[in-house]
Amino acid sequence: MEFIVKSQSPEKQKTDCLVLPLFQSARLSGAVEKLNQASKGTFGTLHKRGDLAGNVTQVVLLQSIEGLSAQRVLLLGVGKDGKISSVQYRELLQKMIATLCDTNAQDIVIDLNDIQVKDKDLNWKIRQVIAAFHFAFYRFDEYKSKKDPKLSTLRKVTFNVLTKKDVTLAQNAIEQGVAIVKGIELTKNLANVPANICTPTFLAEKAKKLAKAHNKISTAVLEEKDMRALKMGLLLSVTQGSDSSAKLITMEYRGARKDVKPIVLVGKGITFDTGGNSIKVPPNMIGMKYDMCGAATVFGVLEAASLLELPLNIIGVIPSCENMPGPSATRPEDIVTSMSGLTVEILNTDAEGRLILADALTYCERFAPDVVIDIATLTSACQLALGPFASGLMSNYQPLADALIQAGNQSSDRAWQLPLWEEYAEPLKSEFADLSNIPLNPIGGATIVAGAFLAKFTQKFHWAHLDVANTATTNSPKRGATGRPVALLVQYLINRCNAI
Ligand code: BES
Ligand code: MN
Ligand code: ZN
């Protein structure tokens, strides 16, 4: 779909459908009043009938009104003063798209200027429209013999803005919105592939493809023999029950001078999590093909960063393997030595994410990073704690946590910080090793305890951890990956560029 910007009075727009806000008032106002004059009173008649009440999130489609250049007019109810919440705005967009899908419109003009969303600007309003179209139209039907039918004939969306300055702002928002949506699409497409196809080798191939498609991205893949040389005992202990070979994928986007310290993104890439010998019960295994959503996020962010040509250096690190049970799989109570030298007693092989991440995080030291951010579907407890709305955030450096929270609010892909007090690491003390991977006696707060485990391996740099077990996938309205937290992270990167 194509998005463009124009600055023209609404009643003169030649389009298949003109989309305008509708106010709740005794008299017609704004652009609708101008349309009313052009149509010799049609809107006034409808208003008198009570059909143009303008209640918040009312949506009215009008066809073939005489005197207008637009074939259709779609009115979005915004209440008395046009001030609505971000949730209401998104609901309006959803309804707008559903209504457009029932028409044969191919190009539309949207005029959002009189809608004021609390704490949000034009950039946000435009990016939300682009995200809403992606969300509504996204399909994953690669493995269906009969493809899903196309929902809509829509091809072109024009944003109508008021001033020259807004034209520039809107163009910038479109550029960002489209890049983010492309990143989100890549993330979802990778995450939705089932684990019999999406193996660590598959991810490594996709990483090489990404490097081919973007000239500032390069990729390197480490094999198990390299991991042995690096003494990555934790990562190797997770993969040892699987027939698929583990990969440590590094993707490097170079958008700044060589001496600029990189932002490193580490994504959990468990292509399937059975739990290993601490095997999951069958209902809990559904959804575990998504245990590589952190890795998929790293792909999406790098793609968006490259499309936006961000003047930053970004390194993606993806430890990837399968967590399988079996005769050669790790047993509970096995003790393994990590790359950092710390020994770990594995009390539960289902707490595997923190193990592969620990070695990957130690590996990050070699990049002399500015910051390291890991993204992982790490704990089911994160679903209990936060529901589906905010990713779990933990950090050893408050300015980084603050920047991520802010980026989450700006992009409406929010994160909520949890405390990483040292008490949370206490139950990870082991009788026989330097630490255990889960508490022998659980204290609750499993999301934070997992974060506290990772913190043992991140003492040499500024680090944040995003637990996305609750946000990376959804079951409603459709089952699948959400592409979160790509928007949050790309916003963080954009903000970093603006701060240079
Ligand atoms: N991949 C899971 C976490 C998960 C669960 C993500 C549900 C998305 C949905 C992780 O490897 C895991 O199994 N975590 C365990 C840890 C426990 C053994 C301490 C969990 O959260 O139950
Ligand atoms: Mn697990
Ligand atoms: Zn897992």
**pLDDT digit string, tens, across residues 17-46:** 999 999 999 888 888 999 999 999 999 999
Which residue, chain included where needed, has tokens 């710390």? 342
The whole-number pLDDT of residue 149 equals 87
Residue nearest to atom 5 of ligand 1 (CA): 380
Dihedral of alpha carbons 192, 193, 194, 198, sign: negative
The whole-number pLDDT of residue 148 equals 87
Question: Mean pLDDT over residues 91-110, rounded?
Answer: 97
Catalytic (active site) residue 228? no
Alpha carbons 3 and 337: distance in angstroms, whole number: 53
pLDDT in tens, 446-487: 999 999 999 999 999 999 999 999 999 999 888 999 999 999
Question: Mean pLDDT over residues 198-207, rounded?
Answer: 98
User: Which atom of ligand 1 is least distant from the CA of 378?
Assistant: 3
> What residues does ligand 1 touch, defined as CB less than 6 Å away?
273, 287, 291, 348, 350-353, 377-381, 438, 446, 469
Q: Please tell me the number of the ligand nearest to residue 438's CA.
A: 1
Alpha carbons 485 and 4: distance in angstroms, whole number: 26
Ligand 3: centre distance to CA 71 (Å): 52
Answer yes or no: is pLDDT of 332 > 80: yes
Check if the beta carbon of residue 319 is closer than 8 Å to that of residue 238. no
Output the CA angle 355-356-357, nearest 5 degrees: 90
User: Which atom of ligand 1 is least distant from the CA of 450?
Assistant: 19
Catalytic residue among 6, 216, 254, 280: 280
User: Which atom of ligand 1 is least distant from the CA of 379?
Assistant: 21
**Band of residue 171 on the pLDDT scale cut at 50, 70, 90:** very high
Ligand 3: centre distance to CA 174 (Å): 36
The whole-number pLDDT of residue 157 equals 98
pLDDT in tens, 264-323: 999 999 999 999 999 999 999 999 999 999 999 999 999 999 999 999 999 999 999 999
The full length of the chain comes to: 500
The whole-number pLDDT of residue 28 equals 86
Round the CA-based radius of gyration of the chain to a whole number and report it: 25
Residue nearest to atom 16 of ligand 1 (CA): 351
Domains of the chain, CATH where assigned: 2-160 (3.40.220.10), 184-498 (3.40.630.10)
Residues with CB under 5 A from ligand 2 (ion): 273, 350, 352
Ligand 3: centre distance to CA 353 (Å): 5
Phi then psi dihedrals of residue 313, to 5 deg: -105, 125
Ligand 3: centre distance to CA 273 (Å): 5
Alpha carbons 307 and 91: distance in angstroms, whole number: 29
Residue nearest to atom 7 of ligand 1 (CA): 380
The whole-number pLDDT of residue 226 equals 98
Among 274, 379, 466, name the best residue to mutate to test ligand 1's pocket (greatest count of ligand atoms within 8 A of Cβ).
379
Answer yes or no: is pLDDT of 13 > 90: no
User: Which atom of ligand 1 is least distant from the CA of 288?
Assistant: 1
Alpha carbons 314 and 471: distance in angstroms, whole number: 23
Residue nearest to atom 8 of ligand 1 (CA): 469
Residue nearest to atom 19 of ligand 1 (CA): 351
Phi then psi dihedrals of residue 58, to 5 deg: -70, 140
Check if the beta carbon of residue 240 is closer than 8 Å to that of residue 328. yes
Among 239, 274, 357, 378, name the best residue to mutate to test ligand 1's pocket (greatest count of ligand atoms within 8 A of Cβ).
378
Answer yes or no: is pLDDT of 230 > 80: yes
Catalytic residue among 125, 206, 268, 354: 354
Ligand 2: centre distance to CA 349 (Å): 7
pLDDT in tens, 353-378: 999 999 999 999 999 999 999 999 99
The whole-number pLDDT of residue 476 equals 87
Phi then psi dihedrals of residue 347, to 5 deg: -85, -25
Write the Ramachandran bin of 329: left for phi over 0, alpha for psi from -120 to 50, otherwise beta.
beta
pTM given for the model = 0.97
Cis peptide before 419 (omega within 30 of 0): no
Integer angstrom CA distances of residue 486 from 57, 66, 126, 490 = 28, 45, 17, 6
Ligand 1: centre distance to CA 338 (Å): 21
Catalytic (active site) residue 354? yes
Question: Mean pLDDT over residues 159-181, rounded?
Answer: 97
**Band of residue 433 on the pLDDT scale cut at 50, 70, 90:** very high
